[in-house]
């Protein structure tokens, strides 16, 4: 059943308002924690300022490579060929848009518009994004499992009460029960597209290779930053801490994981054995390279793509 335009706009508006409310709460908590632990953050910034420039350059190159890997994975999720240059530019612009809207809505909207401009129907574009997201989740889970086996004892989860677990499970079960019908339809559509993609081996290789490389390169950015500041953890431990923290941060729908990812990554590095100031330096360096430096150029690229009607 197709919703009338007014109802669709109302639904989208409510969803964005809900996400905005959650985002505001997380940002307020992040500011409170930053003020409370300001000496640690300040010493972390000083440590980052005198970090090894060679490793920071490696981290910058790894950051740029993530956009190409995201484009490769997106191409793998679509049966028809997409313009390669524009696809990479769209991923760069989407990464900037993703820091303005919560829960990946910015990147999703940019990619959805691009796929639609390339001739894909809206429904097929949505399932292509879902296929890419599903492959990314599976790839991230495989990397976490492999690194957890290679680095036993690195992941140390904070204690969570049985009541909190029970409430979480009950809430998840309620959501699944309420959305059972739409979830089944969406799952069937995604599985149909997954089968279509895997009928073309080149597309399947692009989807899974791009997804694995994207997650690995983001972890490599954090590893390079930690090498630059001489963090006393092995690269495998750092990569595992980042992958686990970024997976946990998805549960809080903030723009670009602001606040949630920062806190989760700092906590994961600290639990793995890093000093607090060094963990703060690693988080600041990762955010500087992946968010703040590319943000303005990414927004400019977004404007250019819109003017040229690529989006």
Place of tokens 């990464």: 95
Q: Is 289 exposed, middle or buried (0-12, 13-18, 19+ CB in 10 A)?
A: buried
How far apart (Å, rounded) are the C-alpha atoms in residues 103 and 172?
17
pLDDT at position 9 is: 47
Helices (H), the chain: 5-36, 38-49, 53-76, 84-97, 105-117, 122-150, 162-178, 180-198, 201-228, 235-249, 260-271, 276-287, 293-307
Give the other-Cβ count within 10 Å of 112's Cβ: 18
pLDDT at position 2 is: 46
pLDDT at position 3 is: 46
pLDDT at position 29 is: 54
Q: What are phi and psi of 31, to 5 degrees?
A: -65, -40
pLDDT at position 236 is: 94
CA dihedral of residues 62, 66, 69, 75 (deg, nearest 10): -160
Domain regions of the chain by residue span: 52-307
User: Mind listing the pLDDT tens digit of every residue in the chain (311 residues)?
Assistant: 444 545 444 544 555 455 455 455 545 555 555 565 455 455 556 677 778 889 999 999 999 999 999 999 999 999 889 999 999 999 999 988 887 766 567 888 899 999 999 998 888 888 889 889 989 999 999 999 999 998 887 766 655 556 755 666 676 666 556 555 666 666 666 677 677 777 888 989 999 999 999 999 999 999 999 999 999 899 999 999 999 999 888 777 666 666 678 888 998 999 888 888 888 889 988 988 888 888 888 888 888 898 888 88
């Amino acid at each position: 059943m197709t919703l009338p335009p007014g109802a669709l706009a109302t639904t989208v508006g409510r969803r964005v308002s809900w996400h905005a409310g959650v985002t505001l709460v997380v940002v307020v908590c992040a500011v409170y924690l930053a003020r409370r632990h300001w000496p640690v953050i300040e010493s972390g910034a000083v440590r980052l300022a005198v970090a090894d420039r060679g490793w920071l350059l490696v981290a910058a190159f790894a950051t740029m490579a993530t956009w190409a890997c995201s484009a490769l994975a997106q191409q793998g999720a679509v049966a028809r060929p997409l313009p390669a240059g524009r696809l990479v530019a769209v991923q760069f612009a989407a990464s900037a848009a993703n820091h303005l809207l919560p829960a990946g809505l910015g990147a999703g909207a940019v990619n959805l518009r691009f796929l639609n401009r390339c001739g894909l129907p809206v429904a097929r574009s949505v399932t292509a994004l879902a296929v890419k997201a599903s492959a990314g989740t599976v790839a991230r889970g495989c990397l976490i499992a492999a690194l957890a086996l290679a680095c036993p004892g690195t992941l140390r989860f904070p204690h969570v009460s049985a009541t909190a677990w029970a409430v979480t499970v009950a809430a998840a079960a309620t959501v699944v029960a309420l959305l059972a019908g739409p979830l089944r339809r969406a799952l069937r559509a995604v599985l149909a597209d997954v089968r279509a993609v895997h009928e073309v081996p080149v597309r399947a290789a692009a989807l899974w290779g791009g997804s694995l490389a994207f997650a690995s390169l983001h972890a490599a950015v954090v590893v390079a930053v930690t090498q630059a500041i001489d963090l006393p953890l092995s690269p495998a431990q750092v990569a595992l801490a980042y992958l686990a923290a970024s997976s946990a941060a998805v549960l809080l729908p903030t723009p670009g994981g602001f606040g949630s990812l920062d806190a989760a990554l700092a906590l994961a590095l600290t639990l793995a054995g890093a000093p607090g100031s060094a963990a703060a330096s690693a988080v600041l360096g990762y955010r500087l390279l992946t968010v703040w430096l590319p943000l303005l150029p990414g927004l400019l690229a977004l404007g250019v793509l819109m003017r040229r009607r690529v989006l």
